[in-house]
Structure 1
């Protein structure tokens, strides 16, 4: 028996559409994400990070795509599916609409945080310091599982938790509000509908990526270590501050590229999600 047997068509379709949207998105935007990762980890300029990837060659460009592809497929499925599954009964209980959305989004974000091991493995695979140490995702998992404790998979969990819940609240509330106010007439050209879906998802994604960018910087810094004591968020923040010339602005190294990536990424996610819903509902 599967979990879908306990859900009606509308409920499980949210999980399926979220998964499909993530697969489309990651396949397109992974190289951009890898450049941003190098900026986060090393605090280097865009040109330097890009040159790093070019010098390493095309064979390593998609190295590390396995974890984010799996993680995003599952997490985006959880994001949309869990949100819908929790928000529906809350809304039917006459709870304040915005409160029910916020609670459902926060819980969906917390559920996503359980997938931190995927981000942990991705960090090690994308860090060029580990290029010779690890072959692929399977190898990283094997090494961590046999040579370290299971908690090593959850290094950097707190920044992920601090990022996921609040960003989900922002995404769902702004997304539904924007969809209500930005109305496309029924007989309008299909391209305008696509543009609306892309622009709404892209704008909210860019906003969230900027607001919560320091959480990602902290996560990458914490997860770039393998073994040894776990760093607290406070200690990681102090280390980054010292390493980057005692300048808080350097916590935002790579934020412009990240904002661009998120603009494109969440625009793609929203378009793919909405159109997958149409396909499922029409069948």
Structure 2
């Protein structure tokens, strides 16, 4: 008999299929593991988030952003961590949990093909966009330095949105820029889940420690996904920075304005994106490695009990 295939993707499919039909233990575990892995990776990479945030607010170089943080002292190093920690933990909960639930619904018996993973990833990205778009909308207004005087706090932004009618709260308020958010999140999720296991499986065959294939797979996926979808990230930031009842540019007008203001050159759209792409690479590398580690620990304990 040949050696059994212990690649991460094959093990995940085996664990999923091994659950007793009708039980929800695997699905609830998927939500919990997604929450924990995103919580831990966000905490570890928060310094990168903070440097990027300073660049977005003050339009300064990396060196200047680092100098500001150094001068403020270590007691303020993790100031402001709670909003991204909350949103990223919720993102991980939804992304990994809904993906696993949807994948098992699409293909209950397995094996899970590329098409199955793509469809489940696409739909989990849709769920994520619907749930988290309002958080991103408020965060982008807060990060716009031109609006600090008018909207100094989250409460002031929410008060403005709630002063609109029902349709205005959705289209002009909480879900401004929703369509590019939906496209970015659904495609990003589909790309991540479609190619995570193949890359991880290929590296696992080289006899590397379990955490190395997981981290490399997550980093490669995070980098490629962010690189491909970065124009949508810029478009979302520009659309969601608008606020108020004044005439807002449409999706097409916003895209045209972004293209024109960047001299109609693709490389200018990517200006300032190096840290964002680096952050995505590190964050998704850590998230995937932590998620894989926790998943293995959980199933090892379960097998010992059984």
Shorter-normalised TM-score: what interval? 0.7 to 0.9
| 1-structure distance, mates of 2:297, 2:50 | 32
Residue of structure 2 in register with 1:266 after alignment: 284
Select which of 235, 256, 274 maps to 1:218. Answer: 235
Higher RCO, 1 or 2 (CA under 8 Å, sep at least 6)?
1
**Stretches of structure 1 lacking an aligned partner (at least 5 in a row):** 1-5
Residue of structure 2 in register with 1:79 after alignment: 95
Q: CA RMSD in A?
A: 3.2
TM-score normalised according to structure 2 size: 0.77
Q: Deviations over 1:130-165 (max 9, x none)?
A: 344445444433443246742201111111111111
| 2-structure distance, mates of 1:147, 1:203 | 43
| 2-structure distance, mates of 1:62, 1:232 | 37
* Alignment of structure 1 residues 1-283 onto 2, 5 Å: 8-36=24-52, 46-47=61-62, 50=65, 54=69, 57=72, 65-92=81-108, 97-114=113-130, 115-146=132-163, 149-151=168-170, 152-183=173-204, 192-227=209-244, 228-281=246-299, 282=301
| 1-structure distance, mates of 2:204, 2:91 | 29
TM-score normalised according to structure 1 size: 0.82
Contact 1:68–1:118 under 8 Å retained in 2: no
TM-superposed CA distance for 1:53, in Å, is 5.6
TM-superposed CA distance for 1:224, in Å, is 1.1
Secondary structure of the 2:48 match is helix
TM-superposed CA distance for 1:276, in Å, is 2.4
Q: Which has the larger radius of gyration?
A: 2
TM-superposed CA distance for 1:11, in Å, is 0.9
Moved more, 153-162 or 29-38: 29-38
Contact 2:57–2:143 under 8 Å retained in 1: no
TM-superposed CA distance for 1:280, in Å, is 3.4
**Stretches of structure 2 lacking an aligned partner (at least 5 in a row):** 1-21
| 1-structure distance, mates of 2:255, 2:24 | 45
